[in-house]
Amino acid sequence: MNSKFFSLDFDEFPRELEELTFPDGDYAFSKKMKRGHFEDRLEELQIELVKLQKWVRANNERIAMVFEGRDAAGKGGTIKRFTANLNPRYARVIALSKPSDVERGQWYFQRYVRHMPTHGEMVFFDRSWYNRSGVERVMGFCNEDEVQQFFQEVPVFEGMMVREGIHFFKFWLTVSRPEQLKRFYERKNSELKNWKLSPIDYKSVGKWDDYSKAIADQINQTHTATAPWTIIDSNDQRRARLAAIQTVLLAIDYDGKDESRIGEIDQRVIISEEAI
């Protein structure tokens, strides 16, 4: 791929890259999932999510989910499909802005701890403490000593959460480089979506390889038996969203669970950590 085309400086997405985006490039699927089929499957899974939330409330359970991934991989959209029919009083979405001066002087995990679920709650982190080993590392907002300290502390921190009884899930959504750029251009040229395109996104376009190295390091260092990553191919966002919801539903034995309705996860959507 010619690197000169990977830029947000053009008026439109470069046609030279169009044939490399999903589903025309080298992907597990040659077609997008049809909208009608997706909506039917999503409704079935959302019915199960309502059951899950009812069980969480009735039994004082706690669920925390972390959604990380490449920029424009669809983290927020995936969370939206989880929460669409849940009671918002007990399903909180946490999307923190950059830390304040006070927060920068605190223990790194401190501002995330206060958002952890209480009894009967489900919490969805739209980005999380993994900013430290991702954007902060690549963009130079922290030093390497801080990154290595983070890697030492993460397994302990997440282990404490799980031992406390929190049902904890970590999702990493990934997309190809051409697909990511195409989505950036869709944001750039949409009056409804251009707020999603940040100055960091403009800077990150040329740092694909740096991010790839940081991501591989992050997954290798923080994929544990206690808190494993579920890595999802999000080039087809519909299949990715279904797989994420199925992962949670299949992992928890809630009242009224209908495994036939949940179905089996399409393993072509799931990527092993070694492939990142």
Tokens of 34: 């049809």
pLDDT, mean of residues 113-132? 98
Domain-located, residue 103: no
| pTM tops 0.85, yes or no | yes
Q: 228: how many CB neighbours lie within 10 A of its CB?
A: 14
pLDDT value for 106: 96
Looking at the DSSP bridge assignments, the partners of residue 121 are 62
Q: Look up residue 146 and give its two tokens.
A: 């801080």
Closest CA to 208 of 237, 184, 232, 234: 184
Provide the number of structural domains found in the chain. 1
Query: What one-character-per-residue DSSP string does 220-246 give?
Result: HHH--SSS-EEEEE-SSHHHHHHHHHH
Please state, in angstroms and rounded to a whole number, the distance separating the CA atoms of residues 168 and 221.
18
* Residue 46 lies inside a defined structural domain of this protein: yes
Per-residue pLDDT tens digits for 20-72 = 999 998 898 999 999 999 999 999 999 999 999 999 999 999 999 999 999 99
pLDDT in tens, 214-253: 999 999 999 999 999 999 999 999 999 999 999 999 999 9
Strand order in the sheet with 167-174: 91-94, 121-126, 62-69, 167-174, 229-233, 270-271
Cβ–Cβ < 8 Å for 252, 52: yes
Q: Say if 3 falls within a structural domain.
A: no
Please say if the pLDDT value at position 274 is more than 70: no
Using an 8 Å Cβ cutoff, are 222 and 155 in contact? yes
Query: For 159-215, how does the pLDDT look when each residue is reduced to its tens digit (9 = 90+)?
Result: 999 999 999 999 999 999 999 999 999 999 999 999 999 888 999 999 999 999 999
Which residues, including other chains, have CB under 8 Å from residue 228's CB and lie 6 or more apart? 170
Q: How many CA atoms lie within 13 A of 81 on its CB side?
A: 24
- Residue 39 falls inside a structural domain: yes
Q: Cis check for the bond before 99: say yes or no (omega within 30 of 0).
A: no
Cα(46)–Cα(85) distance, integer angstroms? 7
> Is 8 within the bounds of a domain?
no
* Residue 36 covered by a domain: yes
Rg (CA), the chain: 19
Map residue 7 onto helix, strand or coil.
Answer: coil
Domain-embedded: residue 130: yes
**Strand locations in 152-211 (E):** 167-174
In CATH, what number is assigned to the domain containing residue 150?
3.40.50.300
Q: What is the pLDDT of residue 1?
A: 61
Give the pLDDT of residue 2. Answer: 63
Q: Is residue 240 part of a domain?
A: yes
Give the residue, 93 or 276, on which the prediction is more confident: 93
CA nearest 166: which of 120, 127, 198, 218?
Answer: 120
User: Which long-range contacts (C-beta less than 8 Å, at least 24 apart) are formed by 31-35?
Assistant: 32/236, 32/238, 33/236, 33/238, 33/239, 35/238
Task: Please give the residue range of the domain that contains residue 221.
Answer: 18-97+109-275
